[in-house]
């Protein structure tokens, strides 16, 4: 058995992923572990629980912005299409709303900016606007806006003053805890490793393994459909 570690902003495509030898572990009875530390974060769990306690969401918007990472993210031949470099944000949508379809997608390309916007639809046709916006000098930020059935609105993350500087604090651009300077909270990678070890020991139910596999493959398909529609 082995572990396939994928950074939250890895550059991949469904076809290439299915071709790499390690992915074939799924079909040979081996253990596949895709690292996605954002799903282990207390903030993400809190968001899921908060939404359960509120009226039904009728519309949502997710926006991520950042600068060009390492001066090469703007080169799509090297970085991958934005829907794949932003795959972890599709996983967040899945954990909140389940499977989605892609209604439309558009790509804006400028000299120092790449912005992709997609409209995703839940199974009961509720729209989710999903945006990845990268440009030279952009600040890293992540946020979600929800419109609820009773007419109220809810923003995540809520702005809270920092005890030391009075500046807003909250999840990182992946929807993760921590900030751009200090990174995610300590222990997240260890938690992911422990999850993998529990799979090797047979402590994770087959149903849970099947659910994880379905999530991984579905999110890859969504990313591929976003790319297809945005490049028509």
Domain ranges, ordered by start, for the chain: 56-160+199-231
Q: What is the pLDDT of residues 55-65, one digit of tens each?
A: 999 999 999 99
Whole-model pTM: value is 0.77
User: What long-range pairs does 145-151 form, CB within 8 A, spacing at least 24?
Assistant: 145/60, 145/61, 146/51, 146/54, 146/57, 146/59, 146/60, 146/61, 147/57, 147/58, 147/59, 147/60, 148/54, 148/55, 148/56, 148/57, 148/58, 149/55, 149/56, 149/57, 149/58, 150/55
Query: Looking at the predicted structure, is the pLDDT value of residue 78 above 80?
Result: no
pLDDT of residue 22: 46
pLDDT of residue 175: 46
pLDDT of residue 178: 45
**DSSP category for residue 214:** H
pLDDT of residue 169: 39
The CATH H-level superfamily of 56-160+199-231 is Dihydrodipicolinate Reductase; domain 2 (3.30.360.10)
Q: pLDDT band for 10, please (50, 70, 90 cuts).
A: very low
Other beta carbons within 10 angstroms of residue 209's beta carbon come to: 13
């Amino acid at each position: 058995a082995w572990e396939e570690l994928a950074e939250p902003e890895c550059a991949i495509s469904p076809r290439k992923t299915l071709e790499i030898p390690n992915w074939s572990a799924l079909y040979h009875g081996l253990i596949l572990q895709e690292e996605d530390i954002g799903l282990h974060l207390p903030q993400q769990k809190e968001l899921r629980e908060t939404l359960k306690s509120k009226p039904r969401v009728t519309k949502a918007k997710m926006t991520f912005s950042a600068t060009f990472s390492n001066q090469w993210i703007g080169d799509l031949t090297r970085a991958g299409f934005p829907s794949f470099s932003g795959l972890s944000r599709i996983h967040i949508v899945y954990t909140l709303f389940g499977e989605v379809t892609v209604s439309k997608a558009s790509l804006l390309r400028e000299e120092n900016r790449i912005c992709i916007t997609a409209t995703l639809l839940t199974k009961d046709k509720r729209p989710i606007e999903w945006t990845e916006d990268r440009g030279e000098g952009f600040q890293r930020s992540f946020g979600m806006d929800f419109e609820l059935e009773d007419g109220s609105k809810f923003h995540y993350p809520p702005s809270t003053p920092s005890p030391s500087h009075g500046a807003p604090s909250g999840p990182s651009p992946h929807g993760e805890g921590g900030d751009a300077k200090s990174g995610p909270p300590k222990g997240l990678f260890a938690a992911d490793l422990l999850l993998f070890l529990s799979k090797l020991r047979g402590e994770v139910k087959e149903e849970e393994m099947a659910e994880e596999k379905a999530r991984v493959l579905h999110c890859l398909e969504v990313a591929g459909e976003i790319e297809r529609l945005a490049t028509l």
